[in-house]
Amino acid sequence: MRLRSRRSVPPPADQRPSGPIPVLAVHRLVKTYGHGDAAVHALSGPFDAQGREQGVDLTIHQGDFVAVMGSSGSGKSTLMNILGCLDAPTSGRYLLDGIDVGGLDEHQLSLVRNRKIGFIFQSFNLVPRTTAVAQVELPLAYAGVKAAERRRRAMAALTLVGLADRADHRPNELSGGQQQRVAVARALVTAPAMLLADEPTGNLDSRSTDDVLAIVDRLNAAGRTVVLITHEDEVARHAKRVIRLVDGQIYEDVRQAPVDGPPPALLDPDDFASHTLHLHAVKANQIGAAR
């Protein structure tokens, strides 16, 4: 995979074209809404001398934990929708796990969403009136997994997020944090190539945020590739790599930890925790320090 580098910031060493096929590679990606004067350039990338959009280039490797940051309107949600195969780019290529997504029809896209991507949304997006375990089974059902196997894998995923005892609860019987953990279980149950989280902690209190992020950290430590979209520095701290988008361009691309290795939160947990901005954790630290 040879991609010409067009970033305003030099790419980190691990993104140079070499090694295995990246989980995700976008090349000259442009997304424009509307036409003519009313056009909104949600994703444009840098402009060349003639003022033409060069598009966004991005490569993410297996096991990475990437936080995409940016203020609202920066194009991060647009990027997330395209990466999640929910929306099609105006132009540019998108390779997911080696597959050119641009050439797929709707049925194939639904298969890709099912097998390759695990979604976690800001507003949880659980199916109403459905128990947690059925929720988690749903992607497996769409994948055609048999009932017994489905139940086993769903329970395993729920156990992983610590909600095995809540398997029979419906969304309206679960707290926000629990709902989001069910959503995480649902996202990882198909063992997707990539977890795609769109502001997963945006609707959660700080304690639930820590719970959910701890799960994501553990999943990443176990080798799962994670792409997380956020505007909170506290959340971005967990990522191995932070990409900042400004006005539809990659403005900054910073590596916080190597791809092959645990995420920052698990690298040195005590040090990581001492820098938290979350009040309940801060208090705990202060108490710990006073002793």
Partner 1 sequence: MNPFQTLRFAFGGLAANKVRSGLTMLGILIGVAAVILLLAVGNGSSQAVKDAISALGTNALTVSSGAGSSTSTATSTKPLTVADARALADPTQAPDIKGVAPEVTTSQTALYQGTSHTVSSIVGTYPAYFEASNSKVTSGDYFSDDDVLNSRKVAVIGTTTATDLFGTDSPIGKVVTIGGTPFTIVGELASKGSGTGFQDPDDTIIAPLPTVQNAFTGFGSLNQILVEANSADATTNAQSEITTILMGQHGITSPTAVDFRVSSQTQLLSTRTSTNQTFTVLLGAVAAISLLVGGIGITNIMLVTVTERTREIGIRKAIGAPKSVILGQFLAESTLLSLVGGGLGVAAALIGAHFTIVGIKPVVIPESVYGAFGIAVAIGLFFGSYPASRAAGLRPIEALRHE
Residues near partner 1 (CB under 8 A) are 81, 84, 86-87, 106-107, 110-115, 119, 121, 125-130, 138-139, 141-144, 186, 190
* Min dist. Cβ of residue 60 to partner 1 (A): 20
Minimum CB–partner distance for residue 31 and partner 1 (Å): 11
Q: How far is the CB of 189 from partner 1 (least distance, A)?
A: 10
17: Cβ contacts below 8 Å, ≥ 6 apart? 1, 2, 3
Min dist. Cβ of residue 172 to partner 1 (A): 12
Gap between the Cα atoms of 84 and 125, Å rounded? 15
Q: Pick the closer one to partner 1 by CB: 31 or 238.
A: 31
Closest to partner 1 by CB, 65 vs 119, is 119
Query: With respect to partner 1, which residue has the nearer C-beta, 6 or 170?
Result: 170
Closest to partner 1 by CB, 4 vs 107, is 107
What is the closest distance, in whole angstroms, from the C-beta atom of residue 79 to partner 1 in the complex?
13
CB of 126 to partner 1, least distance (A): 7
As a whole number of angstroms, the distance between CA 46 and CA 38 comes to 20
Pick 141 or 279: Cβ nearer partner 1: 141
Query: Which residues fall within 8 angstroms of residue 140, CB to CB, at 6 or more apart?
Result: 149, 150, 153, 154, 189, 190
Q: Is residue 288 within 8 Å of residue 274, measured between CB atoms? A: no
Residue with tokens 């900054």: 252
Taking alpha carbons only, the member of 248, 210, 203, 225 closest to residue 70 is: 248
Q: What DSSP assignment string belongs to 125-150?
A: -PPTT--HHHHHHHHHHHHT--HHHH
| Nearest to partner 1 of 142, 272 (CB atom) | 142
Structure tokens at 117: 């991507």
